[in-house]
A and B are shown apart, each in its own frame.
Chain A
Amino acid sequence: MHELSIAYSVVEIATQSAMEAGATRVKEVYVRLGALSGVVRGALEFSYEVACAGTLLEGSRLVVRELPARVYCAVCAREVELPSVQYFCCPVCDTPSGDLRQGRELDVEAIEVDLPGDERGNALGDEDGNACVGDSQGDSEQER
């Protein structure tokens, strides 16, 4: 059961990014979990709350996106999704394939944070066009 240490790492990564951005609170954390990541979703969700206690992430929601394993099938000449990680054969032609293309993912994709308001405009305006969520005022009208 290593999910607690995984959860602490999630909190560490999210906290660092949140602090760099000047966020006061992290509301949601988006995590990708591959079918072969070796991490059990339920155990991670359980550990997450414990790991968040007393941090910027306290009370935040963990949003897990599970990714199935995908292999490249040389016979079909394309990537195929495996219905089960107990059988590494192409679901179409039944040819064995160990050429894994997806399934080991274990990463933090994004976080949703609260940023303190700034009357002079969008001090944290991001050049890289990150999506804004739930913000009624468009950034553009704050820009001078």
Chain B
Amino acid sequence: METRVLEIRKGILNKNDEIARRLRERLHACGLLTINLVSSPGSGKTAFLQRTLRMLREARIPAAALVGDLATDNDAKRLVEAGVPVKQINTDGRCHLEAQMISDHLADWDLNLFEYLFIENVGNLVCPSSYDLGEDVRVVLLSVTEGEDKPLKYPNIFNSADIAVITKMDLAEACEFDLEAAQRNIRAVRPGMRILRTSSKSGAGMEDWLECLAQEKSARAAVV
């Protein structure tokens, strides 16, 4: 018997990363911009997505959404009302989505029909940060009811995101939300990050968000 050290140097999430890479290629080939929405539970992801999908539909911009949830299909039911294709991904208690789940749930959709694909991740500020879903843009939501220091408590997810959206701005005053502090904290963990402020209820800031998506889409189209 001999003991030996074998060098491996392999990413633990290689399998997921490889599936995500192939998925991204496939989505790009269809001209889609894919957006992964991450946040803590209750930050307003579904309401934000609902409003986004409704506005896109009114503007005749075709979009679709995949919604991750631990157990229920309540979110998908809410989003169907926006009148766009929506599919629920039930993670059976798992705390995050993985690239394979996205790939599986896209199987029977004709992706050429859509401009945007939204993925609503499981409400969790820890685990989803590690998993590439093949998205182009990772958007982290922070609601005014959560407190300004969330980015400092969960630096990984804020650092891994491309855009931050502060939601429920209509409640900011009632919560004595310190917008400056929140923006400072976001940029402390992710210098230069683009920050949007929205209210899914009043619609404030939503036009900026759609404009931001359009910019991302044309920026990516220029690269491809």
Residues of A whose CB lies within 8 Å of any CB of B are 1-2, 5-6, 9-10, 13-14, 17-18, 21, 23-24, 27, 31, 36-39, 85-89, 96-98, 100, 106-117, 124, 128, 130-135, 137
Contacts and interface: CB of A to CB of B under 8 A. Distances in A.
B201 to A, nearest CB: 31
Given A107-B10, A116-B1, A133-B4, A37 B159 contact: no
A9 B155 contact: no
B2 A108 contact: no
B189 A86 contact: yes
B68 to A, nearest CB: 13
B126 to A, nearest CB: 6
Contacts of B130: 2, 6, 37-39, 106
B188 A113 contact: no
Contacts of A131: 5
Interface string B1-38: 11111111111111100000000000000000000000
Given A2-B126, A36-B155, 16 more contacts: A2-B95, A9-B12, A9-B13, A18-B6, A24-B1, A98-B190, A100-B159, A106-B12, A108-B10, A113-B4, A114-B3, A128-B7, A130-B5, A132-B5, A133-B3, A133-B4
Contact of B4 (A86, A98, A112): A112
A132 B4 contact: yes
B12 A85 contact: no
Contact of B7 (A9, A37, A87, A109): A109
B96 interface: yes
Interface of B: 1-15, 94-96, 126-127, 129-130, 152, 155-157, 159-160, 187-193
A111 B155 CA distance: 31
A135 B10 contact: no
A135 B3 contact: yes
Please name the 9 residue pairs, one residue from A and one from B, whose CB atoms are nearest each other, closest first.
Answer: A96-B191, A2-B127, A38-B130, A98-B191, A38-B129, A85-B155, A38-B156, A134-B3, A86-B152
B2 A135 contact: yes
A2 B96 contact: yes
